[in-house]
Chain A
């Protein structure tokens, strides 16, 4: 049943929007260390703590390794826990990022996507998130402040669900989304918390009557079985996420999925893209549609777990597919999204030629003309022309 609530159109930066979402979920603990472009998000959240709008215990640590360690300790003790970082900060968390997922602790993190060094660059690309793709977290990518706010709430429900119990990150493009004043609809605090609901922990370190061991030595006898039980959790994310997306759509009128299909129904040519660039590309898709070009766009929203089965059917029967990656895999064959899509489509009937474009590294602007360049190349591929499989976009090569 639809019970769409009133929502006010508000102007906020992406960072502020996510800080509101996190506040509205009433976390018990927040641990963080500042890094551009994430800093403003936790700054805003700390304001909520300081002015009494959030009763979270704010733990200011001396590094990101400690931020994630504190989050793990907090979540293991049964507290709803948030953190946030970017780029090198995420890299420094590395060891503990895996532990959070292995211990099945539903920590919520804002990963404000920023390039990794070197050289030092504070601007957006997805290499931070992609580096962590195998660590066991749920990776949600967002196109704008609205999606970042919504995913900020939705992730609590997915990650904390007893069929899932995994940490989740909301990825949004550094500066492009994090620092842009954008218009979005927000729920009021009460409606947002009604949706997220209270956190019920299953095991806690703080219950002497029911003692549990967390993170023991786990050698050749059982480590593999524990990894097996972790592997089993990821396919379940899809069912849980679908339920949560549906409920959120009933509540807000905004319907999400593992990916968004834009003008895909009759599209011969497809661009696959994630993050803020999807919005820019949609404007260009419209221009080409007016000229009669059957181009559509698939915006990937969930990269982990990867919705391979669902993508197989939606990408079948096309003439040419372009996969855009905002990160490189050095020494690999194509960017991370490309290899994943290619692998998902392997062996499907009528598989269209797949080509990869790496773009926007270190915040290089993804312009309207770049999307046009890709669509032009797709037309060329579809009509039998030669286009390299791996390409760079917007780079003075």
Chain B
């Protein structure tokens, strides 16, 4: 567990990702975690929180503003520098690949903060994976809906059974070396162009 606990500030406009990071930090024993979604008025918040470590997502356009503030700020107890050590190229790359950046109060020992960045990197990666899987599931569902509509068009216009309509779609897709969803989409589009509303 953490000895004297570090104050960690997480800045992320994505609330879900921020709460995933926060949960990870708390599980690792960090009790003093603050999450900010909006950077308005952040100078005062930083002065109040006095964070030892700041974690921010790379998509945030306010990184330039924050870095400038860290350099100028008289409110923060010590100047804050980039967390990742220049010599530690692997962790820098892992962080940037994951889309996360971190700053640390100058003088804080590397081994105390490294686990925090490592945790943030793995949670950022897990979040991206989750978002990707969600997107795949969504497009899978979309494709299934389109195939159903295409089947109904074939059943109505050619008097086929549902099974025969599906077989025809699948055979066409195989012959043309395309996905069944693409064939179905072409059919739905063509039916929309050619005729009155198909079956709704």
The answer to whether A binds B is no
